[in-house]
A and B are shown apart, each in its own frame.
Chain A
Amino acid sequence: MNDDGLAARAATGDAAAFGQLVRRHQSVLRGFLLRLTRGNAALADDLAQDSFVEAWRKLAQFRREGSFRGWLMRIAYTRYLMEARRKKLESLDEQAETAERNDGLEPGVRFDLERCMAKLSIGERAALTLCYALGHSNDEAAEILEMPVGTLKSHVLRGRKKLLAMLESE
């Protein structure tokens, strides 16, 4: 069954259907949050859990105009922003810990990208991750991040430019 069908069943109180959605999207959501939190796996998992619980409570508000994953990402991004404002980003850095990765890339290459990514702003990290790694269109990514498409494109361009400068200097 596709996401929309499962979400419709879950909205009627079917917890098993929602469980399927959780299992289906947990990896990508936690991966997204892991990048936003600059590798803080514990914080990323807490936020992911909170996001799923909030999604369960707000399922009736999911209008199926966009994808379920996009809607979930929006909840997670908003939660991350609230957490970042509450705790201040510096304290998030202090808690950062190395996360387990198994994507098959050379450890050095992945390390460099993540290290450079961590130096970007929240908006740049989120925009680049959504548009490149998760393959969302500019419109979808802008909707998830609740910003105009022009702002999203600026984040992507600026972030990419900064990353390029960092990679060239290595």
Chain B
Amino acid sequence: MTADESRLDRLLAAPLASVEDRGFSASVMARIAGAEEQQTWLETAALTTAAGLFLAFLSASGFSEWIGRLGYSLASSLPLAIAALALALTFSCARILAE
């Protein structure tokens, strides 16, 4: 290795010049805090808008009336009542046997 090569290697291996902070870290953290706040605001706005649109869709499409009719027909269904009773008896027997 020549003298120039050794000199070059020494120069290259010297640590990078240290850069003083001088408020850099604080400005990074301030930017992050601002971005987080903006993100939260955007998410809230998006959720509120989505919820509003969903409610408007429900009332416009007669969804609540349909759910009401479905609930009534389920409650007055005899096969469904028998199935529910059988299920309840099965669970009760299983518990009694387990005890």
Contacts and interface: CB of A to CB of B under 8 A. Distances in A.
Interface of A: 15, 18-19, 22-23, 26-28, 30-32, 34-35, 45, 48-49, 52-53, 56-57, 99-103, 105, 109-110, 113, 128-129, 132-134, 160, 163-164, 167-168
Nearest to A156: B12
* Chain A interface SS verdict (over half): helix
Interface stretch (B29-37, B77-85, B87-95): B29-37
Interface string B1-24: 000110111011111111111001
B18 A103 contact: yes
Contact of A128 (B7, B12, B33, B35): B12
Nearest to A22: B25
A27 B18 contact: yes
A109 B19 contact: no
* Chain B interface SS verdict (over half): helix
Contacts of A160: 8, 12
A15 B29 contact: yes
B18 A132 contact: no
Contact of A168 (B4, B13, B36): B4
Nearest to A34: B19
Interface of B: 4-5, 7-9, 11-21, 24-25, 27-29, 31-33, 35-36
B13 A132 contact: yes
List the 9 closest pairs (A to B, CB-CB), nearest first.
A31-B16, A132-B12, A101-B17, A103-B17, A30-B19, A22-B25, A27-B19, A52-B28, A23-B25
A47 B31 CA distance: 13
A14 to B, nearest CB: 12
A37 to B, nearest CB: 13
Given A49-B27, A105-B14, 9 more contacts: A45-B24, A53-B28, A53-B35, A99-B17, A103-B14, A109-B11, A113-B11, A133-B13, A167-B7
Contacts of A53: 28, 31-32, 35
Contacts of A57: 35
B32 A18 contact: yes
Contacts of A26: 19, 21, 24-25, 28
B19 to A, nearest CB: 4
Contacts of B31: 49, 53
